[in-house]
Amino acid sequence: MDTMTYHEQTNVNNTLKLREILKTLPPFAKDYFRAIEPTTSTKTRISYAYDLRVFFHFLMENNPVYKNYRPSDFKVEDLDQLEAVDIEEYQEYLKVYDGDSKIITNGEKGLSRKMSALRSFYTYYFKRQLIKTNPTLLVDMPKLHEKAIIRLDPDEVASLLDYVETCGSELTGQRKAYYEKTKYRDLAIITLLLGTGIRVSECVGLDLNDVDFKNNGIKVVRKGGNEMVVYFGDEVEHALKEFLENSRDNQTPLPGHENALFLSTQRKRIGVQAVENMVKKYTRQITPMKKITPHKLRSTYGTTLYQETGDIYLVADVLGHKDVNTTRKHYAAIDENRRRKAASAVKLRES
């Protein structure tokens, strides 16, 4: 049997995980998840399943009608018994509630996602005329306030790459040994993220044969499963070749991980969490006031590309955004340099 790709294996693992979560939801919920399968990723369906589980736990904890219920006792008709005020109470509950072992809080984004999951759930049964009411449509969705995009400035990008390349001289003992072992890999990953804007999930999913030095491109699997070639420049090419020659070619991967481009120190395909921790480790030395994640490196690339080209459609295409409005909202805001000019344009007292 052919070895599964990273993305195929991830989908299999997520599908098995989703089946386990569905066992903790009312039996009728399976129909909904089967219906949304063609238009959603396994990751999205897992998130929705967790979110809906919170909703049914809320009903059992807070609604007297359901205090003796177990999840398996709920019937689709129970959705019809709830009114808009029940949904509003749930929205309020989501702000702070007791999780399995800790207190969970939701900001605007978390609230919006959980309410979207519930609205989608209700809409499915309402459209199929299995329920007569849809109270989620009578409740306003949480307002999302735009936040300033956190990204690295050009001088910070240069400082970061310099630091990853040379910080070994500041280290001793085990830390220095670990750095020397991972230096070329770490520099290649950070250069790749900054030089192409790919997602961290796309980065860890790369195989050796996804890199094409003849055309300086990498084949990535985008959200939704579409394949796309993303092209890179000389700096990324140099970092990748240095990594392959000085690090990857000397490693012996564990069985099942032979094709992975980037390996962990355990000789397995590197994971998303490991890359996030690695980016955090280096960037906090350069910009301690900014919390930089791999996604912020993607934002840095998108911002730079837009400032250099002014082409929002190119930025959307390269970043793999399906909707150009998503890109426009993030990258076509008023240029910060112009905004800074406002600080000195207005004089309060003549000097």
CA distance 220 to 233: 16
Is 295 inside any structural domain? yes
Residue 82, CB half-sphere, CA atoms under 13 Å: how many?
A: 31
Is 344 inside any structural domain? no
Collapse the DSSP code of 263 into the 3-class scheme (helix H, G, I; strand E, B; otherwise coil) and give the result: strand
State how far Cα 310 lies from the chain centre.
Answer: 26
Considering the domain architecture, whether residues 281 and 306 belong to the same structural domain is answered as yes
pLDDT computed for residue 120 by the predictor: 97
Q: CATH number, domain at 59?
A: 1.10.150.130
The residue among 138, 169, 184 that closes a domain is: 138
3-state helix, strand, coil in the chain (%, to 5): 65, 5, 30
Considering the domain architecture, whether residues 183 and 211 belong to the same structural domain is answered as yes
Considering the domain architecture, whether residues 242 and 301 belong to the same structural domain is answered as yes
CA distance 238 to 191: 10
Considering the domain architecture, whether residues 292 and 267 belong to the same structural domain is answered as yes
Is 129 inside any structural domain? yes
pLDDT computed for residue 334 by the predictor: 47
> Which residues in the chain show pLDDT less than 70?
1-2, 332-351
Is 148 inside any structural domain? no
Number of domains in the chain: 2
Considering the domain architecture, whether residues 167 and 131 belong to the same structural domain is answered as no
Q: What's the residue count for the chain?
A: 351
Q: Which residues pair with 263 in a beta bridge?
A: 269
Is 339 inside any structural domain? no
In tens, the pLDDT along 189-237 reads 999 999 999 999 999 999 999 999 999 999 999 887 789 999 999 999 9
Residue 225 near residue 185 (C-beta atoms within 8 A): no
Q: Which residues pair with 96 in a beta bridge?
A: 105
Domain encompassing residue 286: 154-333
Considering the domain architecture, whether residues 107 and 160 belong to the same structural domain is answered as no
Residue 289, CB half-sphere, CA atoms under 13 Å: how many?
A: 3
Residue 29 near residue 75 (C-beta atoms within 8 A): no
The residue among 105, 138, 171 that closes a domain is: 138
Considering the domain architecture, whether residues 29 and 91 belong to the same structural domain is answered as yes
Q: Which residues have a Cβ under 8 Å from the Cβ of 162 and sit 6 or more positions away? A: none
Number of Cβ atoms within 10 Å of the Cβ of 334: 8
Q: CATH number, domain at 217?
A: 1.10.443.10
Is 106 inside any structural domain? yes
Task: Identify the residue whose tokens are 């250069």.
Answer: 191
CA neighbor of 205 nearest in space, from 3, 8, 1: 8
CA distance 312 to 171: 42
pLDDT computed for residue 333 by the predictor: 58
Q: Which residues pair with 218 in a beta bridge?
A: 211, 230
Is 78 inside any structural domain? yes
CA distance 187 to 264: 14
